[in-house]
Structure 1
Amino acid sequence: MAVTQQEIESRLWDAADELRVAMPEAQYSSVVFPLMFWKYLSDTWEHQHQEFLADNEGLDNLSAEEAHEIEYRDYQSFEIPFIHSGTVQKRRASWSSILATVTQPKLGERVRTSLQAIETANPDKFSRLFGSMAWTAEEVLPGEVLGAVMQAMDRVPKMHEGNMSHDVLGGAYEYLLKRFSDGSGTRAGQFFTPREVVELIVELLDPKAYESVYDPTCGSGGMLIASANLLKAHGGRGYTLSLHGQEAVADTAGVARMNLFMHNLTQFQVEVGDTLKDPRFRKPDGSVAQFDVLLANPPYSLKWKPWAQDPRAIGGVAPQSTADWAFVQHMIASMGPKKGRAGVVLPHGVLFRGGQEAAIRQRVLDDDLLEAVIGLPVNLFYNTSIPTAILVFRAPGTKAPERQNGVLFIDASRRFTKAKNRNVLTTSDIANVVAAYNAKYDADGNPLDPGESSGLGARFVHTAEIAANKYDLNLGRYIKQIAAEEEDLGPLIDAYNLARAERQMTEQRMLAVLSAAGIEGFDE
């Protein structure tokens, strides 16, 4: 009987749960993902090795060198080498080989040596894949706990394509990502953007076959994977996308690489480094590389060291206190000139803050680079409850004629469903926002067909009106229903204060009557 997706996920979580005696849940990912990927590689290698042996059963006269050449030419796409070659401890750096030694001392050391050997044997594919591997130290993760995790994970069925599709493998990986994020609070936001937010951005940007996709703060790689999944869902071939990402944290970059491999996406490049300080994707002349589709959920209001001189700094340099607009400037510089488009999630402050940010905002609007501002609900993310917005940009001169010299504002702040730890966007919420984004608008900026905006507050606003508002992009300035709510807030506060004062006076009168009657103990 086939094992279901739910059973696979349950067994993987059982393995992760063995770590509860040694570390907080926020740290599980640093151990579970390398082990899971190691098992996947080992199961895949051994499956292909058995096929090689079956197909070449009669070739006993082959030398070891000839057999190795045929196997790696025709069957294997990566190598699982031997460790401790030339010694009595020699063994293959595979999951099953090391699992057989779980009761022996120094298990963590053998695991580390095996993972490092795989990286070294496959530098083009797996360089720095497994991260720092600090968890392999006995003082961090005792050998008996590591052994229990491996034994529990070994109860997951063989993780090769002949036994388990990449859709199942990728789904299991994403399940763990979400489970770790749900349980680890603010730390999760460093590498995991809620899936429905990712889907919305990807739907808005609509990647096409053979396009290049870039995430300058890629975290676990979710936006890159979602781009390929959407293309596949629309009848295209997701593997034709050229995927690129940069991530500041080496271990998180490793999570992204493993995630992409588990989804059978091999045309990717994930680099480690600070995107603002040291962008790793560059042209031969040293300028930043350019891409067709750019998406990001950068760290909000990050303190940074501002550029002294940088060609990315159109309109000025973002203040030291917040790098929000610096990430936008980097993405604008990285948009391809013919069809480059970018979607980025940022806090509402980028829409109206003054000073240096206002100067950058003015330049971006005067150059007609901003296409849309989409207000999202509060409490969507793991690391903050603040309201956020998606900003959509287009390369200079590439906006559709009807979208030129203006910005589309969409209010989706009320479109959410309450979940256990946060709010979520449903499939219909996403579809409605995309419909409003793709709708046509009349000369006054209102939807030509109100049904196409799906009941969302939406309006196309000409740049002249925004300039008259000193380039303030606050949605409440341009969408009536938000403005009305803001206007109603003052009277509501006044009414509340009046009712509160009346209640206090009534309580005082009641207490005075009770006290006069000799009844005490009701006052605070």
Structure 2
Amino acid sequence: MNPSADLVNRLWRLCALLRKDGVTYQQYVTELTYLLFLKMASEQKDESRIPEQYRWVALKSASETEVLQRYRQALIDLGDGTKIADRSVVAIFQNAATIVREPANLRKLIDAIDGLHWFSEERDAFGDTYEGLLQKMAEETKRGAGQYFTPRVLIEVMVQLMQPKAGEVIQDPAAGTGGFLIAADHAMRAATDDYFELSPKQQTFQLQSALRGLENVQDTFRLLLMNLHLHKIDPDHLNLADTLSPSGMQPKYKEADLILTNPPFGPAGGPPTRDDLTITDRVSSYQLPFVEHCIRALKLGGRAAVVVPDNVLFDDGRGKLLRQRLMSWCDLHTVLRLPTGIFYAQGVKTNVIFFTRADEEAPTEDATKAVWIYDMRSGAPAYGKTNPLKEADFDEFVRAFGNDPLGWADRKDEGEAGRFRRFTREEIAARSDNLDISWLKDTSGDPEDGLETPEDIAAAIELHLSAALVEVRALVEELGVDVIAPAIEEAAE
């Protein structure tokens, strides 16, 4: 077992100390965020930003009668911008509160973290361990499909194919815990000797300005900041805000060279409030407006890889108009039909769409001449916690995609018996611009047949209800029946 995996398992077992108090997995990882930040600052001799009474050694040496009170006060003061000058520290601890009730439990957590060996001969393990904790949290969390953690294997494949380069602006408009941005940073570091090949000005750009994005959930944003901090990234262009609000129209979130993202699925709290989303401005779901944002946020010639649910490929009405705009303004060169079960919910059907913004602001003819579709879903094994997605599972697709991030590598249509096929723009138009195209017989069976635990069954039911609500909303919008729309919104709440 590698050192970081061992650390993850040891830290995860400590969750048992708090589970009896009704603590959720995300609450536990959030609690570890605070403690790991203080521990890391101590290990790396970087405690100048932290008041002496709240440093790791002070917590470690506090008596059991005072340790919880000292820790609670530390969370309050470290999130107070009038007491702490460092912006990143305040952002991580802002509105922080502990869920630990018993001083003895806090003492056990502190002692356990302090006793772990955080460094190997090759590298420190803080960043890798934190990534592992986030994945554990996602695997154990049964929530709506739009909030599922993107498997790191899928992230690595998308980054590998899109080939991020130093000097580019890279955006994730639904940043989550930062998986795409960190993987892109790793790829660029590997290509530039950890940025040492760059000039000081270029290094500053990479560490502070290259990575950009928004996250709309406070607790997730906290995890994002901590994850970036542990990977030695301190960008100035990641903020707590809604991409579908006017915040997403700021200049720093436009002109992206590369967008990598897995936007939320399911119904939103309301339609977008941005003036520029002219196609999806009245759509009460997340996925369609996020795709329109990606189209508009790319610079001319910029490229994107976006995870989307199946309905983005086949919805009529606004969905069809959006696909037409996508294929007009962008070269939608590749669609990857993903297997089910990889987002920790058996019924979620997803795809990755790869596209490049045209070199013209408004092309006179469609930028998409043909779409290549790779079916990784039909006949695929059942994926899940007992059979996780592996890098080798993508090998055939990576070879078929080729080494050109714009999709212009030599490719071979494998015909009706193969997994990779080419469909011309004319053929797609003849299908009423429906991109939900399959040709292989799916012998994998219903992915929900194997559901056993109440949590899995509840998650599947929630997913189906959410999908049904999206379809009803789409019908209402299509018919223009504004009278019953408020009733639907009220029912959703």
Same fold (TM over 0.5): yes
Report the equivalent of 2:304: 342
2:115 match: secondary structure: coil
Deviations 1:151-209 (A, max 9, x none): 2211123x5x7x77655222111121122222233379626211112112212211012
Query: Which one of 263, 268, 292 corresponds to residue 231 of structure 2?
Result: 263
Shift of the 210–119 alpha-carbon distance from structure 1 to 2, 3 Å rule, reads: farther
Report the equivalent of 1:190: 147
Query: Which one of 307, 313, 326 corresponds to residue 351 of structure 1?
Result: 313
Report the equivalent of 1:496: none
Shift of the 368–81 alpha-carbon distance from structure 1 to 2, 3 Å rule, reads: closer
Report the equivalent of 2:477: none
Question: What residue identity is the alignment partner of 2:151?
Answer: P
Aligned pairs, number: 420
Shift of the 120–215 alpha-carbon distance from structure 1 to 2, 3 Å rule, reads: farther
Q: Distance in 1 between matches of 2:125 and 2:82?
A: 25
Deviations 1:469-522 (A, max 9, x none): 11110122xxx435xx69xx9xxxxxxxxxxxxxxxxxxxxxxxxxxxxxxxxx
Report the equivalent of 1:129: 92
CA contact (8 A) 2:272 2:289 kept: no
Q: Distance in 1 between matches of 2:248 and 2:328?
A: 29
Report the equivalent of 1:151: 111
Query: Which one of 230, 245, 248 corresponds to residue 277 of structure 1?
Result: 245
Please state if 1:115 is matched with 2:78: yes
Shift of the 80–446 alpha-carbon distance from structure 1 to 2, 3 Å rule, reads: closer
Q: Distance in 1 between matches of 2:95 and 2:251?
A: 29
Report the equivalent of 2:42: 42
Question: What residue identity is the alignment partner of 1:299?
Answer: P
CA contact (8 A) 2:78 2:94 kept: no
Deviations 1:222-279 (A, max 9, x none): 1111112233455664674711121111121111111112122334532101110143
Shift of the 366–383 alpha-carbon distance from structure 1 to 2, 3 Å rule, reads: same
Deviations 1:25-54 (A, max 9, x none): 342112112211221113223xxxxxxxxx
CA contact (8 A) 1:351 1:472 kept: yes
Larger Rg: 1
Deviations 1:46-85 (A, max 9, x none): xxxxxxxxxxxxxxxxxxxxxxxxxxxxxx5x73343xxx
CA contact (8 A) 1:295 1:343 kept: yes
Report the equivalent of 2:30: 30
Deviations 1:429-482 (A, max 9, x none): 223212212289xxxx994486xx9x9511222211111111110122xxx435
What's the offset of the Cα at 1:122?
4.0
Shift of the 199–132 alpha-carbon distance from structure 1 to 2, 3 Å rule, reads: same
Please state if 1:97 is matched with 2:65: no
Report the equivalent of 2:351: 389
Question: What residue identity is the alignment partner of 1:464?
Answer: E
CA contact (8 A) 1:416 1:424 kept: no
Question: What residue identity is the alignment partner of 2:437?
Answer: L
What's the offset of the Cα at 1:300?
0.7
Report the equivalent of 2:215: 247
CA contact (8 A) 2:72 2:98 kept: no
Report the equivalent of 1:292: 257
Which sits farther off after the overlay, 357-366 or 291-300?
Answer: 357-366
Question: What residue identity is the alignment partner of 2:132?
Answer: Y
Shift of the 261–38 alpha-carbon distance from structure 1 to 2, 3 Å rule, reads: same
Q: Distance in 2 between matches of 1:17 and 1:171?
A: 22
Q: Distance in 1 between matches of 2:72 and 2:251?
A: 41
CA contact (8 A) 1:380 1:422 kept: no
CA contact (8 A) 2:172 2:214 kept: yes
Shift of the 475–329 alpha-carbon distance from structure 1 to 2, 3 Å rule, reads: same
2:211 match: secondary structure: strand
Q: CA RMSD in A?
A: 3.5
What's the offset of the Cα at 1:120?
4.7
Query: Which one of 414, 419, 426 corresponds to residue 457 of structure 1?
Result: 419
Report the equivalent of 2:465: none
Shift of the 294–377 alpha-carbon distance from structure 1 to 2, 3 Å rule, reads: same
Q: Distance in 1 between matches of 2:232 and 2:87?
A: 16
Shift of the 404–299 alpha-carbon distance from structure 1 to 2, 3 Å rule, reads: closer
Question: What residue identity is the alignment partner of 1:436?
Answer: A
Please state if 1:471 is matched with 2:442: no
Q: Distance in 2 between matches of 1:166 and 1:332?
A: 38
What's the offset of the Cα at 1:18?
2.4
Shift of the 4–304 alpha-carbon distance from structure 1 to 2, 3 Å rule, reads: closer
Counting only pairs closer than 5 Å after superposition, residues 396-411 of structure 1 correspond to structure 2 as 396-397=358-359, 404-411=368-375
Query: Which one of 79, 88, 91 corresponds to residue 48 of structure 2?
Result: 79
CA contact (8 A) 1:418 1:424 kept: no
Question: What residue identity is the alignment partner of 2:430?
Answer: A
Deviations 1:77-102 (A, max 9, x none): x73343xxxxxxxx432011122114
1:295 match: secondary structure: strand
Higher relative contact order (CA 8 A, sep 6+): 2
Identity %: 26
Q: Distance in 2 between matches of 1:392 and 1:199?
A: 15
Report the equivalent of 1:373: 335
TM-score, length-scaled by structure 1: 0.71
CA contact (8 A) 2:78 2:90 kept: no
What's the offset of the Cα at 1:355?
1.5
TM-score, length-scaled by structure 2: 0.75
CA contact (8 A) 1:186 1:382 kept: no
Report the equivalent of 1:203: 160
Q: Distance in 2 between matches of 1:344 and 1:330?
A: 11
Report the equivalent of 2:188: 231
Q: Distance in 2 between matches of 1:422 and 1:224?
A: 28
Q: Distance in 2 between matches of 1:280 and 1:126?
A: 24
What's the offset of the Cα at 1:297?
0.9
CA contact (8 A) 2:402 2:410 kept: no
Q: Distance in 1 between matches of 2:285 and 2:291?
A: 12
Q: Distance in 1 between matches of 2:395 and 2:90?
A: 39
Report the equivalent of 1:413: 377
Shift of the 429–420 alpha-carbon distance from structure 1 to 2, 3 Å rule, reads: closer
CA contact (8 A) 2:263 2:286 kept: no
Query: Which one of 425, 432, 440 corresponds to residue 481 of structure 1?
Result: 440
CA contact (8 A) 1:166 1:262 kept: no
Question: What residue identity is the alignment partner of 1:295?
Answer: L
Question: What residue identity is the alignment partner of 2:8?
Answer: E
Q: Distance in 2 between matches of 1:43 and 1:322?
A: 45
Report the equivalent of 1:426: 390
CA contact (8 A) 1:214 1:294 kept: yes
